[in-house]
Structure 1
């Protein structure tokens, strides 16, 4: 199969192809103009006239088909009313290119003969979007080399899940192709949310239906928080509240985790992680207690598991959740306990496996002796970056140390060293945005700041998520104002509302 590209067919291309057939190509004209401007056989002013546009942008589909001018009246234009034609503005026109674009991955169509839960065959754009979601988008949500399967089976059973997955894929594809109509995407987004609200409002909202709706809302939450966070229509907080409401109806996070399928658990682990990181950055309590991370550790998660002898990321995130609750108690008037600080320090103390080393020479020896073991080295470095970020939070928020304090700066340097130790082509670096953001917000030297920006550029090139650009813009604004020398909360106030940091 060949790659596909979503573009809106412009009727002016047909006129252009006819004109190109009747006259020399633009390159040939350019060459003849250099020798004799009269060789082309047409006046100079005619050759430089703008091409006639027979349709206007945003025309309804029947007017586009007939190549006539549309008056853009809603809900039906005048031509469609007079001719008795059904007027439609939200219809998507697709053209599948035979030659793949540079940014498009090679996709293999696997949904050519499938149908949704109602037995209706999938539309062409839905099949292509599911292909893109499975092959390109879903692997970006995990650092694991072999993540769990995407929720394709749920999408074929539930219309809201199918709509959410297609919108997620098409929105991400639009950031790369720049040819997708935002109006069409917005229309399908509204249809998806209407479908979700309709099923939630029905009296027959059984548990199986709620499980499917949970996946749909989780996908919309990640879409708005990762991909479309800088768009005006982004509704990250609304989807966040929707996930919490569905979890409450299912009996809470732990109950939903136990009864959910593997792909739902992976999305729930990502939701709990983004809730925690947002709580740490904004100085609030997380929505879930620290105990959930013991349960999350035993299931499918978005990160690569580490070797024995090192702390898992789930235990590190659990300790960070404890610190978030403890810091709130201190703000409420509780006295700081030194023993509690020491307990947090021990829990977040970076650990090293036998395979790992901080020296470049020993790391290269490991790579040369057994390259297959390097992903494990990178996974451990990924966990240590989160450990150092947790210690920065501990000293800055709970212990109230200044940014220039030597102890805090040691962990800033160590955190950046861990991230730099991860290979640029490794998926672990793409999900290290939280430690990179925390260390970057407290970095003081230009060398470290340039390193942070370089890593963010590499992550954006791999992900194409607007959240990366939002973090980059927030850091640049922070460094100009020098607010990182004040309080923790002031260091992260420039981050766009609704941006998820994983």
Structure 2
């Protein structure tokens, strides 16, 4: 008998698998999907939500996949829709908040015990799923009654409980509301990112501050805490204000679970870069009223701390060269992590020259770091998780580029990031850049460049 015909290849995208056609494995989009107009997707897990609720007969079958959530389903009164939202949150949303290949476990058990966390998780999952089902539209509003129920539950818990045990779950709920409004629903009239920011600060202070929370060692909280501090810092740089936390917190945050890959290869960590960025922001506010007080010694110190460094040859390298040889399996990951950190270093140096020193955007010192940032971003693979967390460097670099090919490169990378993240903040950054390139503000001062970005938008 003739051999069995193989119509699909291993690693095919989901549309090609479903249509049983031979995928060319092109990434981020294969040519089969491009030509047919299908939504190309290489996700390891394909999650679908049916538009109609399942019947009682299929309820048992729907529950079986949720055993992977480590949820004890006995005596469980959750609706099937909530269980599906929990699964979607764990497998489709939570991995987007970190560059780690194996992120810390999401707060699913906490959601099963605390109603505000459950409502917030479901709201976040539904909002993100809606964006993934759309073709790029950012005008889909979540049901207002669900959002109000979520906020009412948080406020009720805050009124009735004030001890540390009950505030920790509420901190997770407010964290998720903050990211829901700042990343996903930042263009909605109901967005209240600033209010959630104040709420997070109040709860963190009541629980003893950053140090106390990090010492507790609850990984999901410390990871969300690191992301909250990062977005507060980048927002402060764009809005020309001081960050809400002292620069010293980055030394503490680094000892907990963070959203970025903590492995370093040249001795520079992302936390150390963020610490210098926070110090520069605070210094900028200090000299804002009197530019003549600018200290060139301080500027030199910032430059030395932020200048990308490289390993140099020493005697140990000569005595045992094989010890320092990079294995082929880890070579790419090392280069990706190195380029990822350098993008933030170059962005911080652009801030130093522009916001603190007052140099024009076309100045040589500014443009040399814009060019270097472009090269670092090119070295980051579009299919790596690190690529999806360089929106802030892309925004800074894009705002200071004047070449059409570089502007096209920025837009292309933002489009690639949006296809993976499905966060509305990416679309708003893209729109803000296109508006800036047509405006006289493109040759203006630092804070005028980023004026058109929405007040509720978070950038990381």
Task: Give the TM bin, normalised by the shorter chain.
Answer: 0.7 to 0.9
1:406-465 CA distance string (max 9 Å, x none): 111000111111011100101111000111100100111111111100100110011011
1:221 equivalenced with 2:178 (yes/no): yes
Match of 1:447 among 405, 424, 427: 405
* Aligned-partner SS, 2:191: coil
* Aligned-partner SS, 2:68: coil
Residue 342 of structure 2: aligned partner: 384
Instruction: Return the alpha-carbon distance in structure 1 between the equivalents of residues 304 and 190 of structure 2.
Output: 44
Instruction: Return the alpha-carbon distance in structure 1 between the equivalents of residues 100 and 141 of structure 2.
Output: 35
Match of 2:422 among 464, 477, 501: 464
Residue 189 of structure 1: aligned partner: 147
Match of 1:176 among 132, 137, 140: 132
8 Å CA contact 1:114, 1:122 repeated in 2: no
1:501 equivalenced with 2:444 (yes/no): no
1:330 equivalenced with 2:287 (yes/no): yes
* Aligned-partner SS, 2:300: helix
Instruction: Return the alpha-carbon distance in structure 2 between the equivalents of residues 378 and 354 of structure 1.
Output: 20
Uncovered stretches (5+) of structure 1, i.e. residues with no partner: 10-92, 99-106, 356-367
CA 1:146–1:112 in 2, change beyond 3 Å: closer, same or farther? Answer: closer
TM-score, normalised with respect to structure 2: 0.81
Match of 1:243 among 200, 205, 208: 200
Residue 271 of structure 2: aligned partner: 314
Match of 1:122 among 74, 78, 81: 78
Instruction: Return the alpha-carbon distance in structure 1 between the equivalents of residues 67 and 347 of structure 2.
Output: 41
8 Å CA contact 1:211, 1:260 repeated in 2: no
1:432 equivalenced with 2:394 (yes/no): no
Superposition deviation, residue 236 in structure 1:
1.0
Residue 28 of structure 2: aligned partner: none
Match of 1:287 among 229, 232, 244: 244
CA 1:456–1:401 in 2, change beyond 3 Å: closer, same or farther? Answer: same
Residue 33 of structure 1: aligned partner: none
* Aligned-partner SS, 1:148: coil
CA 1:456–1:325 in 2, change beyond 3 Å: closer, same or farther? Answer: same
8 Å CA contact 2:347, 2:369 repeated in 1: yes
Residue 262 of structure 2: aligned partner: 305
Residue 393 of structure 1: aligned partner: 351
1:104-134 CA distance string (max 9 Å, x none): xxx8663596359xx6432211111111111
Output aligned runs, 1:357-372, within 5 Å. 370-372=328-330
CA 1:111–1:404 in 2, change beyond 3 Å: closer, same or farther? Answer: closer
Match of 2:122 among 154, 166, 178: 166
Uncovered stretches (5+) of structure 2, i.e. residues with no partner: 1-44, 59-64, 314-325
8 Å CA contact 2:232, 2:243 repeated in 1: yes
8 Å CA contact 1:143, 1:303 repeated in 2: yes
Cα-Cα RMSD: 2.7
Aligned residues: 395
Instruction: Return the alpha-carbon distance in structure 1 between the equivalents of residues 353 and 55 of structure 2.
Output: 55
TM-score, normalised with respect to structure 1: 0.74
8 Å CA contact 1:6, 1:177 repeated in 2: no
8 Å CA contact 1:8, 1:95 repeated in 2: no
Instruction: Return the alpha-carbon distance in structure 2 between the equivalents of residues 131 and 354 of structure 1.
Output: 47
CA 1:8–1:201 in 2, change beyond 3 Å: closer, same or farther? Answer: same
8 Å CA contact 1:115, 1:156 repeated in 2: no
